[in-house]
Chains A and B, each alone.
Chain A
Amino acid sequence: MPQDACFTEGRLLSLAEATDAAAGLLAASRLAVFLIGACDVAGTRAAIRLATRVGGVIDQSESTGAFRELDVMRSFGRFIVTPNEARQRADTVLLVGSGLTKLWPDMIERLGLAELPRLGLAPQRRRILRLGGSADDPDLSTLAGQTIAAQDEALPTLIAALRACNAHRPLARSADGDALNTMAEALKQAKFGVIVYSPASLDALAIEMLVGLAADLNKATRFSTISVGASGNAETAMQTCAWMTGFPVRTGFGRLYPEHDPWRFDASRLIASGEADALICISSEPGLPVLPPRIPVVALSAEQSGRTDVKVQITIGRLGRDHGGVDFARETQSLVGRRASAAAGFPSAASVLEQIAERISPGAAAC
């Protein structure tokens, strides 16, 4: 068991003193913002409970990309396939935009891009098509049968043109016209096609058009999409918040009922505007996010050295190492269980947050 690695403005503190200080700070706050990073379901639950206790706001540090995606879903819907199913059966994969393997280093292996689809009716090599992002990954370039090179900024126009080709609508004359027609034809030939993209490199309009393209293609054959996020972290918070409150993150509890508003309850906006007067960062990854000046910060983090710009700092353990639990796995697109592998004795985010809550209102029902 290590000594409690807790600090106030860089000076060592016991865990009891640290949770006391955090509770005092939260109780005195008018608007506390809870910014969740890498955190398991248990920690997220505890954060949401604590936020309701103090009338705070819940957001997630990667939610900007997640909301770009969610906004499209809430307006038009989505087609989703798991990476496992894509690997088993996709005969055609369209990779859109740049940085996919940077965001998801295992992508080629998880999607089996170099393999035969196991459940295909007539086993043949997958057809890999690329729209944009051409030069950034040599491995993908080797695999790709057809590539239409483009900068990310050009993608909305190109996707719209590809969709038009697919629908046999006439295209405005462009250099890519023939290539797009060839690609559209390849998509139509697919028995089970998958479009892979990242909301990090696409704007909402481009994502909407990819959903539309998948919808068009599904009229005659099967198509779906995989959205590549930086991690499963945003999804862990989105999912947990959704069942607990009915809404995703960017939800506030100032009125004793959850209110969801992606603009009003955006953590960075609340901090920049001065509306927030306390920030609670929770992440079991090493390092701390860029911290705002002037607002007192409570940081639950894997960071083990005390920082002078943090009011209360508590070192927490990592899921799958120090403690077991559940988080969202990008590989399976589902919540999965993790066992502790080598507990170093650091407390979980959930247990620290529960201790803080207990100090704010002792005995309040934990159910």
Chain B
Amino acid sequence: MLTWLRGGRVIDPVGGGNRVRDLFIEDDRIVAEPLRRAVDQAYDATGKVVMAGGIDIHSHIAGGNVNTARLLLPELHPGQTPSSSKLPFSSARWSTFETGCLYAKMGFTTVVEPAMSPHHALHAHLELADTPIIDKGTLTVLGNDDFLLSMLRQGESASAIADYVGAAVAATRGLGVKCINAGGATAFKYNARAFSLDDVVPHYGVTSRAIVEALQQAVSDLKIPHPLHLHMNNLGIAGNVETALATIDAARGLPLHLAHVQFYAYGTEGKRGFSSAAARLAEAVNAAKNVTVDIGQVMFGPTVTVSLDVLRQYNGSRNARPNKSVIFDGDANGGGIVPYDYRRSDFYNAVQWACGLELFLLIEDSWRVFFTTDHPNGAPFTTYPDLLALLMSRDLRAEWLAEMPRSVAEMTTLGAIAREYTLDEIATMTRAAPAKLLGLADRGHLGPGARADIAVYDDHMDRARMFRDAHLVFKDGDLVVRDGGVTHYRAGRTLEARPLFDRAIERRLDAYYDEVYRAPRDLFAVHPDILPRTVRFEQVGLRQ
């Protein structure tokens, strides 16, 4: 079937620039303008803005800890809007079904769940199977697991470690590897209350730095497109910009992705000992071309923090709003679920908000900075439209800043930053760059051969309104959203990297599971035949 999308302002930083032109869709792909062929259907995009479907590289949308948050906080999601019978659960607040619909409405078509514990991988994939429309991927979390730490203690070779990492990614069907406070969750089990880059994990005698280096190397050796995705030590602590700067150095010029860096952009100035160090961090990121970052922007309102950094979450549970939390010492990472309410009137929260915006605006290369709120940790992803509006308007930022404690402006440089994101930069940051970072060659752009994931927006001056409810969204060429409303469900794909590794490691792992976990390793493996029939995995090409 041939579809003609006529006369929109097409913004495609990869191949097409920014100009008014037509797009043609043949089945699930974008094609060059066909000669002498009748179109089957046409949509008028005159006056509209057309971009590839958005890609979110870091959003906690599925898995055991997210589900615990749902159970912990029924008050955070009272449901009152009826779902249509064609779209069951689409209005069920915080359900996986609602998540798929809300992303699609904003023109996002691919989302990565970045914190999948190997022993909860099945759970994550089951939730993703019930997340309609969008394509999904997961990052397999390693770096606090006994098997890896024991390998490092014993000085095993890089190739043996790569085999282990490859086997873990394959069994869990991950798209990449994430490391969360390397060694920190394990150290917390030995009662460490703080854990930095050069601290040593008790019992194993390895430093956080050594774990990060080993995983970074393994991901590279396995030719997984997405570099190691790192949640650094010391999240959320005043003065932790030093940790972020040291970690950038620790990358030794090799590819490394740093997650939600807003939470690491804090200095110790001012009478409260808490200030923005975003300018320093941005400068370091600008200089380190091997490093990519996502922001983890804070926006105001009640939310919940869901993290496998259980040490940090335990420390943060003192400030839970409301005062309840779940601290989970799991196999390897575990996790912590701590509700929180970011307040505009709270000095610390307002500085956090400003830090994130400073980073967005001071990091120059929109190919290396990624658009996230670390959903739901900094804010729910539903705040994206407001955040995009802030990035695109200095005046709007000034209005917000004027409503905050005056000391906030003194502790940040935000007020002095004139930059306003262009639609081209937004398209790079939310489409083209994420596709490149994840190795998704047929996404994030609108050239011939690209997957027909397309968002068409009304060109409102009010950018928040523009990005909240897309005019049209196509997923695989199928129109799924019209005027901000989801028209029907379809099953998205699950993207996975299938790295090559020496399968001899599996026999060793089987024996380890029998001995240490007293359970077959296969109990935790993600086999398609035990998932719903609608689940489709798509293999992402390995790096050449």
Contact = CB atoms under 8 A, between A and B. Distances in A.
Co-assembled chains A and B: yes
Interface of A: 41-42, 45, 49, 52-53, 70, 73-82, 84-85, 88-89, 109-110, 118-119, 121, 191-192, 218, 221-222, 224, 238-240, 242-248, 255-260, 324-326, 329, 331-339, 364-367
Given A222-B189, A243-B62, A324-B529, A73 B523 contact: no
Contact of B530 (A49, A255, A326, A364): A326
B74 A82 contact: no
Contacts of B488: 365
Contact of B324 (A74, A82, A191, A365): A74
A348 to B, nearest CB: 11
A191 B191 contact: yes
Given A221-B191, A256-B83, A336 B122 contact: yes
30 contacts: A42-B532, A45-B130, A45-B532, A53-B88, A74-B74, A77-B320, A77-B327, A79-B326, A79-B328, A80-B329, A82-B329, A85-B329, A88-B146, A110-B518, A119-B203, A191-B191, A224-B327, A224-B329, A239-B67, A243-B62, A243-B67, A243-B127, A244-B92, A244-B96, A258-B95, A335-B64, A336-B519, A339-B522, A339-B530, A367-B534
A338 B530 contact: yes
Contacts of A84: 331, 516-518
Contacts of A367: 132, 489-491, 534
Contacts of B326: 73, 77-80
Given A80-B327, A191-B190, A239-B123, A73 B72 contact: yes
Contacts of A89: 189
A246 B79 contact: yes
B500 interface: no
Interface string B59-94: 000101011001111100101111101101101111
Contacts of B62: 243
A266 to B, nearest CB: 16
Interface of B: 62, 64, 66-67, 70-74, 77, 79-83, 85-86, 88-89, 91-98, 119-120, 122-123, 126-127, 130, 132, 146, 188-191, 202-203, 314, 317, 320, 324-331, 334, 488-491, 516-519, 522-527, 529-530, 532, 534
B128 to A, nearest CB: 10
A245 B522 contact: no
A335 B120 contact: yes
B96 A73 contact: no
Residue among B94, B123, B146, B527 with most chain A CB within 10 A: B123
A52 B88 contact: yes
Contacts of B81: 257
Contacts of B64: 239, 334-335
Contacts of B314: 218
A332 B532 contact: no
Given A121-B190, A191-B191, A334-B123, 9 more contacts: A76-B324, A224-B329, A240-B126, A244-B95, A258-B79, A332-B517, A336-B519, A337-B522, A365-B488
Contacts of A224: 327, 329
Contacts of A77: 72, 317, 320, 324-327
B8 to A, nearest CB: 29
A326 B126 contact: yes
A215 B443 CA distance: 47
Nearest to B149: A119
A334 B72 contact: no
A324 B188 CA distance: 37
Given A80-B326, A88-B516, A118-B516, A246 B94 contact: yes
Contacts of A85: 189, 329-331, 334
Main SS class of interface, A: mixed
- Residue among A239, A257, A338 with most chain B CB within 10 A: A257
Nearest to A338: B530
A260 B74 contact: yes
Nearest to A80: B328
B511 to A, nearest CB: 15
Contacts of A259: 79
B533 to A, nearest CB: 8
Contacts of A333: 330
Nearest to A120: B203
A110 to B, nearest CB: 7
A119 B146 contact: yes
A331 B524 CA distance: 12
A186 B431 CA distance: 57
Contacts of A365: 86, 488-489
A88 B512 CA distance: 13
A77 B122 CA distance: 25
A359 to B, nearest CB: 16
Contacts of A53: 85, 88
Contacts of A242: 67, 70-71
A306 B73 CA distance: 43
Given A246-B94, A326-B530, A365-B86, A334 B130 contact: no
Contacts of A222: 188-191, 329
Given A77-B326, A121-B190, A336-B122, A246 B146 contact: no
Residue of A77, A78, A338 with highest tally of chain B CB at under 10 A:
A77
Contacts of B527: 337
A121 B83 contact: no
B515 to A, nearest CB: 9
B123 A335 contact: yes
Closest 6 CB pairs of A and B: A256-B82, A77-B324, A81-B329, A246-B94, A336-B523, A367-B489
Nearest to A329: B523
A285 B461 CA distance: 61
